[in-house]
């Protein structure tokens, strides 16, 4: 468990994780969506279609975990050919570094993050995250 996180988040909510996987699979943004690890999934990993990104971005992905307590971790990462990364994270979990709900801003998702308020429903949260990432992707082309 990452430093600063509590073990009070409960187990993975496989039903919600399955629904999230179906939701992101329905988006043209992603070239692949997988449950990882395949033998006991605890996350949905969605790789973006690289056609949305400039050539120096080698990989961009979203990693989503959802827990029975409605805690979550949504991590976005861009990996560049020169070895650099650009990352951010939306979190809801007990911890000793922020309020339960917080955002770790780009470019390096530092801890502590910024306290935030997120929708309670997973559908609203995923829509919010995808909208923010759409803005990020659009910024490459402006």
Nearest to 22 by CA among 122, 106, 117, 107: 122
> HSE (CB half, 13 Å, CA atoms) of 103?
12
Burial of 104 (0-12, 13-18, 19+ CB in 10 A): buried
Q: Is residue 93 part of a domain?
A: yes
Q: Is residue 8 part of a domain?
A: no
Q: Is residue 9 part of a domain?
A: no
pLDDT, tens digit (0-9, with 9 covering 90-100), for 97-125 = 999 999 999 999 999 999 999 988 999 99
> What is the rounded CA–CA span in Å between residue 37 and residue 127?
24
Q: Is the pLDDT assigned to residue 5 strictly greater than 60? A: no
pTM score > 0.95 for this model? no
> What is the rounded CA–CA span in Å between residue 57 and residue 28?
18
Nearest to 90 by CA among 114, 107, 67, 69: 114
> What is the rounded CA–CA span in Å between residue 85 and residue 92?
23
**Which helix H or strand E contains 81, and what residues bound it?**
none
Q: What is the pLDDT of residue 10?
A: 82
pLDDT, tens digit (0-9, with 9 covering 90-100), for 40-88 = 899 999 999 999 999 999 999 999 999 999 999 999 999 999 999 999 9
Q: Is the pLDDT assigned to residue 4 strictly greater than 60? A: no
What's the total number of domains in the chain? 1
Q: Is residue 1 part of a domain?
A: no
Q: What is the pLDDT of residue 1?
A: 40
Q: Is residue 142 part of a domain?
A: no
Q: Is the pLDDT assigned to residue 7 strictly greater than 60? A: no
Q: Is residue 74 part of a domain?
A: yes
Q: Is residue 4 part of a domain?
A: no
Domain that holds residue 38: 14-137
pLDDT, tens digit (0-9, with 9 covering 90-100), for 21-35 = 999 999 999 999 999
């Amino acid at each position: 468990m990452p430093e600063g996180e509590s073990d009070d988040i409960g187990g993975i909510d496989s039903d919600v994780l399955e629904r999230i996987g179906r939701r992101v699979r329905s988006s043209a943004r992603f070239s692949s969506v997988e449950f990882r690890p395949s033998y006991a999934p605890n996350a949905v990993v969605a790789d973006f279609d690289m056609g949305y990104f400039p050539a120096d971005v080698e990989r961009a992905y979203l990693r989503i975990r959802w827990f029975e307590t409605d805690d979550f971790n949504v991590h976005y990462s861009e990996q560049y050919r020169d070895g650099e990364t650009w990352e951010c994270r939306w979190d809801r979990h007990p911890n000793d570094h922020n309020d339960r709900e917080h955002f770790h801003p780009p470019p390096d998702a530092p801890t502590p993050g910024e306290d935030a308020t997120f929708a309670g429903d997973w559908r609203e949260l995923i829509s919010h995250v995808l909208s923010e990432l759409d803005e990020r992707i659009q910024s490459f082309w402006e």
